[in-house]
Amino acid sequence: MNRGRLITFEGPEGAGKSTQAAMLISKLEARGIEVIYTREPGGTKLGEAIRGILQYNAAGEDPCAESEVLLFEASRAQLVRNVIQPALERGAWVLCDRFADSTTAYQGFGRGFSVELMETINRFAIGRAVPDMTILLDVNVSLGMQRCAKRQVGKKIQYDRIESEALEFHEKVRQGYLELARRFPERFRKVDAMRHAEPIAEDIWKLVSDAFLSQG
């Protein structure tokens, strides 16, 4: 049995990661491919509990910046061992909405922790689950925020803990992602996400099908 593919979606908030993952899933499933969709933080019972702590202070106090890193990594380690690695081993494809590069972008470039340290902790958490392709949906911060604001209209919780960070923080995150895409061109595919969803989905399909489905 061939190992499946791990495709991760990254980008600033409101980039359209969940929307594009859903569109890619339908195309892959139409080809008879088993696809598992998951997200970070979360994707397991432990991970979803950590998500509540990280986003909405479910533990009753703010995690300090160091705890924040380790909580993201704990959620990731659990997701890899319990969901991603077993799926890849049985030949399924896994589409993950955010993965290790989010820690490098948000906690490294955004919060200012050493990028090398974030990458080292990421390697510990992900083990062999290195993404085959990382789709970076690039959107400018104001457009991403406008999209999220539209979605939040009428909802009780407005913004979560990380979404509420200052604009400069989100700008550092965006620039961090662009830097990662330059550093790891073999894995990253940058897609202009400041367009309608359909042409973005077409570009992603071309990238994915050219890379993984065109042989034979």
Q: Which parts of this chain interact with ligand Z5A (CB under 6 A)?
A: 11, 13-19, 40-41, 72, 98, 102-103, 106-107, 147-148, 150-151, 162-163, 196-197, 200
Give 45 or 90: the residue with its C-beta nearer to ligand Z5A.
45
Give 44 or 103: the residue with its C-beta nearer to ligand Z5A.
103
Q: How far is the CB of 137 from ligand Z5A (least distance, A)?
A: 7
Burial class (CB within 10 angstroms; exposed 0-12, middle 13-18, buried 19+) of 179: middle
CB 135 within 8 A of CB 189: yes
Q: Pairing state of beta strands 35-39 and 6-10?
A: unpaired
Q: How far is the CB of 1 from ligand Z5A (least distance, A)?
A: 29
Give the closest residue to 72 by CA, choosing from 36, 39, 47, 44: 47
In angstroms, the CA 50 to CA 61 distance is 13
Q: How far is the CB of 188 from ligand Z5A (least distance, A)?
A: 16
In angstroms, the CA 6 to CA 46 distance is 21
Q: How far is the CB of 155 from ligand Z5A (least distance, A)?
A: 11
Q: How far is the CB of 4 from ligand Z5A (least distance, A)?
A: 21
Give 18 or 142: the residue with its C-beta nearer to ligand Z5A.
18
Q: How far is the CB of 216 from ligand Z5A (least distance, A)?
A: 33
Give 3 or 147: the residue with its C-beta nearer to ligand Z5A.
147
Q: CA-based angle 33:97:162, to the nearest 5?
A: 170
Phi, psi (degrees; rounded to nearest 5) at 16 = 100, 25
In angstroms, the CA 191 to CA 75 distance is 27
Give 91 or 152: the residue with its C-beta nearer to ligand Z5A.
152
Give 90 or 124: the residue with its C-beta nearer to ligand Z5A.
124
